[in-house]
Amino acid sequence: MTADFPDYRRKLAFLSLKKSLRGKAGPANLFLSLTDRCDLNCLHCYYRDRKRRLSLSFGTAKNIIRQARENGIPQVTFFGGEPSLYPRLAELAAYADGLGLFTELDTNGQSLGRKELRELSRAGLSSVMVSLHSETPGEHDRLTGKTGSHKRALKFIKDSLKAGLLCYVSACFFKGNYNRKTLKKFAAFTKKLGAHGIRSLFFYDNATLPGRPILMAGDIKAMKLEDYVGTCFSSDPGRRKCSGSLNKMLYVGTGGEVKSCPYSRAVMGNIRKTPLFRIIRLAKKVPARPVLPCAG
């Protein structure tokens, strides 16, 4: 697929990011929630019942990004809600890119067309992570609560690649539909679309054994899919921990709350009251937390 813009810049940014992560002890990625608003109503969304509808001011968002850069965090991922609904997204991408950060958009792929993706690419966005939960349109649309969302997500992938962006798929797997065969089939489907990889998440509730995400990590390793399918869990004996429990990422919400992961319930501090470097310093002193459920 021919890109409208040369993608060598994205590849160089990605290589630079990988180099910066070698031997890095602190957080490697800041998930920055720009808004609580969303244009879908996913059945499995962690924030589905949240009543809060805040958005970060542009100045506050810039300040948080600057603090991330000052603390050696090499990547910022624009998060939500649905971050593509944030009105000054391109300006934020340009600001972060100007500071030398690798920039990524974690999106459902519903509201951005080819024109907007070109603008984001020009501004400095390096990568997109689009939600796609099934190769079957009906199943994806059922999960998102919106007919046609699967079709729009596929178009988003195509348009992102045309804009020269790195494009990854974020997929949520469920107790009733997950096995090695479905994972392998889905990986083949996304490769055919041109996606550069998959971030696999496993949905579980109180009725689901919390060890299943770790079992999935083991399946990915056994099937030799590690170069294409990623997960935040380790399946190695003695290292069954997630990126959040290892302080490899941070999440800042629209209220300023700082957590080790977007799906953790434990708040480490509030960036509106405490500088990020102090929150990171305090986090290093916190004893190891249970990996699952995602509440620590």
Domain boundaries, the chain: 27-35+51-283
CATH architecture classification, 27-35+51-283: Alpha-Beta Barrel (3.20)
Tokens 């959040």 belong to 244
pTM: 0.88
Average pLDDT (159-179) is 90
Neighbour count for residue 33 (Cβ, 10 Å) = 25
- Beta bridge partners of residue 250, listed in sequence order: 30
Question: What digits encode the pLDDT tens for the residues 178-214?
Answer: 788 999 999 999 999 999 999 998 776 544 445 566 6
State the pLDDT at residue 58: 98
Query: Does 296 score more than 50 pLDDT?
Result: no
Regarding beta strands 197-202 and 249-252, do their DSSP bridges make them parallel or antiparallel, or are they unpaired?
unpaired
Taking alpha carbons only, the member of 200, 224, 227, 193 closest to residue 214 is 200
Identify the DSSP state of 235.
-
Poorest-confidence range of 24-28, 95-99, 147-151, 169-173? 24-28
Task: Quote the CA–CA distance of 223 and 156 in Å, as a whole number.
Answer: 28
- Beta bridge partners of residue 171, listed in sequence order: 200
